[in-house]
Amino acid sequence: MGRWEPNARGRLEQAALELYVERGFEQTTVAEIAERAGLTERTFFRHFADKREVLFAGAGALQELLTTAVVGAPDSVAPLEAVATALEAAGALLQERREYSRRRQAVINANPALQERELIKLAALASALADALRRRGVTDPAAGLTAEAGIAVFKIAFERWISGTGEADLPQLIRESLNELRAVTAGT
Amino acid sequence: MGRWEPNARGRLEQAALELYVERGFEQTTVAEIAERAGLTERTFFRHFADKREVLFAGAGALQELLTTAVVGAPDSVAPLEAVATALEAAGALLQERREYSRRRQAVINANPALQERELIKLAALASALADALRRRGVTDPAAGLTAEAGIAVFKIAFERWISGTGEADLPQLIRESLNELRAVTAGT
């Protein structure tokens, strides 16, 4: 096998997900993932720390994208709107990977340890968003609440997107969920 | 030691928390907890599945209290208000255990596995609240969003309560956080 391995990372992700769906996460080995992708285990470990991290490799980039967008939003934009706009931008990227996201979620839902990992990533994301809002001058408790509200909106929109029939796209569902949150908090 | 062990459960909780603070969670054994409480290991295991569960034993009762209150709230009460009132009632009970809650949180914050467990309990609580709202006739996505909003309010209020100087009580901080959430979602 040559040293030039086009899109090794993407091929490993795809192979891993296929095997997790076919055999279950626990039953799949790194050797099998590498074989399915036509690559070596060594190449696998150049890209991922372990077989779990294949499923969470996008989290760092997502966090970076969201916090950069929140910090960079114009001063005139209200905090929750800055978060929602950032989430819509992330949603537009995820939209391209709907089938992948759907199968990934099925693997995670079938495994408590993966669910824990997912919750930790979401908590870390909420914390990073709150920090980004503080950098915009938002004080507490508004910063924490706005970040948590944003994650709630994203979570509900994502669930609807994953389980839906495909008519609504993710950015649209994020906007709808935000409007729904506004409605439930406004109602007394 | 006699069979009559007054407040064995409370004594075990207290002893466990003392040891977790003094020595760290990992370094503490069930045998040491039982000894500190003046009870046997056998008594420990009559009350708790393992040393981790001592810290999460209240979660079931909390969930029961919240869901019962949400389901039982008058029909005229708006969904988020039903959740907030339930959280305030739970907050009033927790208020009695502020020092315990504070030390418990310090132990959890020092241990990633305990943080995972805490996140799972919160996610389960959000899910149970959403179900309680559906039983009130609240449809989706409002049910999920209202439950997530309630958990966000509770989380922020709890953090402020734990880290604060003790002037505001927990039910009051829950109400303030709800008002703050209303303000951040109303601002455009």
Q: B79–A145: do the CB atoms touch at under 8 Å?
A: no
Same domain, B134 and B165: yes
Which one-letter amino acid corresponds to residue A79? P
A–B: how many Cβ contacts below 8 A?
Answer: 100
Residue A2 has pLDDT above 50, yes or no: no
| Per-residue confidence (pLDDT) for residue A142, from 0 to 100 | 94
Which one-letter amino acid corresponds to residue B21? V
Q: A79–B184: do the CB atoms touch at under 8 Å?
A: yes
Q: Determine contact: B160 vs chain A, CB below 8 A.
A: yes
Same domain, B81 and B128: yes
Residue B12 near residue B37 (C-beta atoms within 8 A): yes
Contacting residues for A64 by C-beta, under 8 A, at least 6 apart:
none
Q: B149–A78: do the CB atoms touch at under 8 Å?
A: no
| Per-residue confidence (pLDDT) for residue A4, from 0 to 100 | 64
Distance, in Å, from the CA atom of B150 to the CA atom of B130, rounded to the nearest integer, reads 10
Domain presence at residue B1: no
Distance, in Å, from the CA atom of B19 to the CA atom of B10, rounded to the nearest integer, reads 14
Q: How far is CA A167 from CA A89, A103, A160, B145, in A?
A: 19, 18, 11, 21
CA B126 to chain centre: 12
Count Cα neighbours of A128 within 13 Å in the Cβ-side half-sphere.
Answer: 20
Q: What is the mean pLDDT of chain B?
A: 92
Residue B187 has pLDDT above 80, yes or no: no
Distance, in Å, from the CA atom of A126 to the CA atom of A103, rounded to the nearest integer, reads 24
Distance, in Å, from the CA atom of B69 to the CA atom of B135, rounded to the nearest integer, reads 12
Two structure tokens written together for B62: 């909390």
Any idea which of A161-170, B69-78, B147-156 has the lowest mean pLDDT?
Answer: A161-170
Q: Determine contact: A160 vs chain B, CB below 8 A.
A: yes
Q: Determine contact: B26 vs chain A, CB below 8 A.
A: no
Q: A159–B153: do the CB atoms touch at under 8 Å?
A: no
Supply the pTM of this predicted model. Answer: 0.89
| Per-residue confidence (pLDDT) for residue A188, from 0 to 100 | 53
Same domain, A150 and A170: yes
Two structure tokens written together for B61: 């009762």
The CA-CA-CA angle for residues A33, A38, A43, to 5°, reads 70
Two structure tokens written together for B106: 């310090």
Same domain, A167 and A104: yes
Same domain, A177 and A138: yes
Contacting residues for A107 by C-beta, under 8 A, at least 6 apart:
A17, A20, A21, A25, A55, A114
Residue A91 has pLDDT above 80, yes or no: yes
Same domain, B145 and B103: yes
Same domain, A86 and A168: yes
Distance, in Å, from the CA atom of A48 to the CA atom of A45, rounded to the nearest integer, reads 5
Q: Determine contact: A155 vs chain B, CB below 8 A.
A: yes
Q: How many structural domains are present in chain B? A: 2
Domain presence at residue B3: no
Domain presence at residue B28: yes
pLDDT tens figures, A145-176 = 999 999 999 999 999 999 877 678 999 999 99
Residue B166 has pLDDT above 80, yes or no: no
pLDDT tens figures, B41-71 = 999 999 999 999 999 988 888 999 999 999 9
Residue A30 near residue A50 (C-beta atoms within 8 A): yes
Residue A120 is inside which H or E element, if any?
helix A112-135
Q: Determine contact: B41 vs chain A, CB below 8 A.
A: no
- pLDDT (mean) for B119-137: 95
Distance, in Å, from the CA atom of B99 to the CA atom of A84, rounded to the nearest integer, reads 37
pLDDT tens figures, A104-141 = 999 999 998 899 999 999 999 999 999 999 999 999 99
| Per-residue confidence (pLDDT) for residue A77, from 0 to 100 | 94
Count Cα neighbours of B45 within 13 Å in the Cβ-side half-sphere.
Answer: 6
Same domain, A101 and A124: yes
**Cα-flanking dihedrals φ and ψ of residue A97, to 5°?**
-120, 40
Residue B104 has pLDDT above 70, yes or no: yes
Instruction: Provide the CATH number for the domain around residue A159.
Output: 1.10.357.10
Domain presence at residue B84: yes
Same domain, A73 and A155: yes
Distance from CA of B98 to the nearest CA of A (A): 20
Chain B: residue nearest A149 by CA?
A: B149
ipTM greater than cut 0.90: no
Residue A144 has pLDDT above 90, yes or no: yes
Q: Which of B123, B144, B152 sits opposite A149 (nearest CB)?
A: B152
Residue A86 near residue A65 (C-beta atoms within 8 A): yes
Domain that holds residue B13: 8-54
Distance, in Å, from the CA atom of A90 to the CA atom of A82, rounded to the nearest integer, reads 13
Distance, in Å, from the CA atom of B8 to the CA atom of A23, rounded to the nearest integer, reads 46
Q: What is the dihedral of CA B115, B118, B124, B128, to 10 degrees?
A: -150
Same domain, A40 and A72: no
Q: B159–A146: do the CB atoms touch at under 8 Å?
A: no
Chain A: residue nearest B112 by CA?
A: A120
Domain presence at residue B81: yes
Same domain, A14 and A83: no
Same domain, A49 and A69: no
Instruction: Provide the CATH number for the domain around residue B42.
Output: 1.10.10.60
Mark which of B54, B70, B86 sits at the end of a domain.
Answer: B54
Residue A1 has pLDDT above 50, yes or no: no
Residue B149 has pLDDT above 60, yes or no: yes
pLDDT tens figures, A12-39 = 999 999 999 999 999 999 999 999 999 9
Domain presence at residue B43: yes
Q: What is the mean pLDDT of chain A?
A: 92
> What pLDDT band is residue B87 in, cutting at 50, 70 and 90?
very high
Domain presence at residue B2: no
| Per-residue confidence (pLDDT) for residue B167, from 0 to 100 | 75
Q: How far is CA A173 from CA A82, B113, B137, in A?
A: 17, 33, 22
Any idea which of A56-65, A124-133, B11-20, B27-36 has the lowest mean pLDDT?
Answer: A56-65
Residue B1 has pLDDT above 80, yes or no: no
